[in-house]
Chain A
Amino acid sequence: MLETFKHTVDYLSTPTISFSILTVVTPILFPPTDWFDKINRKFGFYLLWTKTGLVAAMAAITLFFIIGYMDKNFNVILTKADNFPIVLMVYSIYYFTWLAMHKAYVNDERLEKGLKPSEYNDPDDKVLVWPDLVYIEFIALILFTVFLVVRSILVAAPLEEPANPASTPNPSKAPWYFLGLQEMLVYYDPWIAGIVLPIFCVVGLMAIPYMDINKKGDGYYSFKERRVGIFIFMYGWIVLWLFLIVLGTFFRGPNWNFYGPFEYWDAHKIVALNSVSLSEYFWVKLLGKGLPDNILLREFLGFLTVGGYLFVLPFVLAKTVLKDMLEAYGLTRFVALMIFGLVMFSLPLKMYLRWVANLSYFISIPEYFFNI
């Protein structure tokens, strides 16, 4: 029974499956359109944001970690001192997402009835910072200090053998908060996964207030009024950032191969590596010729694909489906939204192309380290 459960979890955590589940579930949990909202209501996904949902989900997470703690393989990963933050992360991210969504639902209902959001108070009815805020800060500070001291006494900071440049541990992992980037390295070259995507992350986050023209939902928790924005943020944050961190910490073992959480990290696990670039697909597999010597000719299809995705697609969208959006947002905002949005969604796209079609790169010019 327990073994079946562990095998099921191992199977479900395979990146292809777990990532797909999350990709399908996120738009239902944070429905950006009426259609998704209907599914949410129909299957009761909104129950996750109720108090019962909180208790049930917390219990499920705890049960999972208890089973993991008692399993000899998962125990090794789980009890590494530097992996403890991930456990805290899983709890706190769920709890605070729950808190925000729970409050948002309450406010959505109030707003529908024509009431003010629950945060609203008479602007003349203010409280004094001394003592009303100062004592809250003081208590928060003391509680957090107690937490840190207790944790420091109980859990020693990790210290492995002295640094040895001659012996590379397998796997070598970046600090936990960068494991999402390390995971992207599987699908993208380092210049994209390590440089371009992080820069787009930071600049994209900074650009949010300038791209979001929705004036509603300022200063209180709400969902309905901002559902598209919240969905995009949650997809990027939970699926493309936090989930990849969990994946990189718990499910990646020697040679960065996938291992289920309850699976033994066998360094000799053999995983077929046979990804093929788009140019090879076209010239070798489709036309049955060798690769042309001229790099531009060899990779012309890749350039067309990438160029088409980044530059032609926004144009086509602007003329067709997103016509109204272009008008509402103006040209600059629209272009920015398209660039950040398309780059962000290129990550899951690339992941699926790797999984489904074994595609290594669209453009593969290793001569100039230029692989996309």
Chain B
Amino acid sequence: MADKKNKSILKTMGESQIWKSIIRSGVPRTRRQRMHAVLGSVFLHLHPARLPKHAVKLGYTWCMGGLSFFLFVNLTITGILLMFYYRPTVEYAYTDIIDLTEQVPLGIMRELHRWAAHSMVLVVWLHMLRVFMTGSYKPPREFNWGVGVLLMTMTMFLSFTGYLLPWDQLAIWAVTVGSNMARAHPFIGHEGPGASLLAIGDINLVHIGSDVRFALIGGRFVGEATLLRFYVIHCIAVPFIMMIFMAVHFWRIRKDGGISGPL
């Protein structure tokens, strides 16, 4: 009886059936239990159980890769919450954004989302700088560097598509400037070199109503269709593809021998 009383709450909890059923290994105290805690958790087993010492030093990794992932999760959560209030139509989009700050209690969700998005672009760039400066792209990690470059491109595209959604002057003109470049795509943009060669007789196959810019913004100018298209790309399409690439990225880190380090 006396022994039982002296036990800490944590220890009692750690030995309970509920705790053990969830965490499997109990409170990780011994070396064996601690390794088990990592291996037995679906989230933590992204990591190996043990790491070389330099791998846990901030000076080496800058934690930038982990922060990129954290920001992605953060943006997914804040993004889902924003979707409760936001309707992607020309009629409602702008007023919904105003409501987000003025009507919704503690309305900083849009701020959190926007600043996390800008931070993510920067953090991903810095992650690339770290990987380059430590030469971590060298064999056998060439492929994973490529996956990372694509993830970075997607991050910027994700940020770009999100830029339109507030439907203010800043948004449509930034997206107009950006999507106007697609006009000039060789062969498939109507003002690109070679587009006029794709014609049957006098009929141009690539014109303002059928080129790649039209496909991207769903119209001849940035309008209602663009808003819906960018909303779907921003909320569903790119995050979906990115998750697949992230899975490959993380898996390949482990398969390519874990974190890079001096031999």
- Cα(A222)–Cα(B169), bound, Å: 46
Inside 8 A of B79's CB, which chain A residues have their CB? Answer: none
- Cα(A123)–Cα(B260), bound, Å: 12
- Cα(A103)–Cα(B130), bound, Å: 12
Total chain B interface residues with beta-carbon distance under 8 A:
102
Q: A159-B97, A209-B141, A237-B129 are in contact. Are A99 and B177 (CB under 8 A)?
A: no
Closest to A116 in B: B262
Closest to B193 in A: A370
A77 within 8 A of partner (CB)? no
Q: Contact check, B163 vs A175: say whether CB atoms are below 8 A apart.
A: yes
- Cα(A116)–Cα(B262), bound, Å: 8
Task: Render A149-168 as a binary contact track against B, CB cut-off 8 A, 1 for contact.
Answer: 10111011111111111011
Q: Contact check, B35 vs A121: say whether CB atoms are below 8 A apart.
A: no
Q: Contact check, B108 vs A104: say whether CB atoms are below 8 A apart.
A: no
Inside 8 A of A132's CB, which chain B residues have their CB? Answer: 51, 56
Inside 8 A of A129's CB, which chain B residues have their CB? Answer: 38, 44, 47-51
Enumerate 27 A-B pairs (CB-CB under 8 Å) in ascending A order.
A85-B118, A96-B126, A119-B54, A126-B53, A127-B51, A128-B35, A128-B38, A132-B56, A134-B44, A136-B63, A137-B66, A157-B110, A157-B111, A159-B168, A160-B168, A163-B167, A163-B169, A163-B171, A174-B177, A191-B184, A194-B180, A194-B181, A194-B184, A206-B149, A222-B135, A368-B197, A369-B193
Inside 8 A of B176's CB, which chain A residues have their CB? Answer: 172
B121 within 8 A of partner (CB)? yes
Q: Can you name 10 extra interface pairs (CB under 8 A) apart from A176-B118, A206-B145, A219-B262?
A: A120-B262, A140-B63, A158-B170, A175-B159, A175-B174, A196-B186, A210-B142, A218-B134, A226-B135, A369-B193
CB-CB contacts below 8 Å: B120-167 with A: 121-122, 125-126, 128-130, 132-139, 141-142, 145-146, 149-150, 153, 156, 159-160, 163, 166-167
Q: How far is the CB of B108 from chain A (nearest CB, A)?
A: 4
Task: Render A89-102 as a binary contact track against B, CB cut-off 8 A, 1 for contact.
Answer: 10011001101100
Closest to A363 in B: B193
- Cα(A163)–Cα(B223), bound, Å: 10
Q: How large is the interface on A (under 10, 10 to 19, 20 to 34, 35 or more residues)?
A: 35 or more
Residues of B within 8 A of A (CB): 28, 31, 34-35, 37-38, 44, 47-60, 62-63, 66-67, 70-71, 74, 90, 94, 97-98, 101, 108, 110-112, 114-116, 118-119, 121-122, 125-126, 128-130, 132-139, 141-142, 145-146, 149-150, 153, 156, 159-160, 163, 166-174, 176-178, 180-186, 189, 191-197, 221-223, 260-263
Q: How far is the CB of B179 from chain A (nearest CB, A)?
A: 10
Inside 8 A of B197's CB, which chain A residues have their CB? Answer: 368
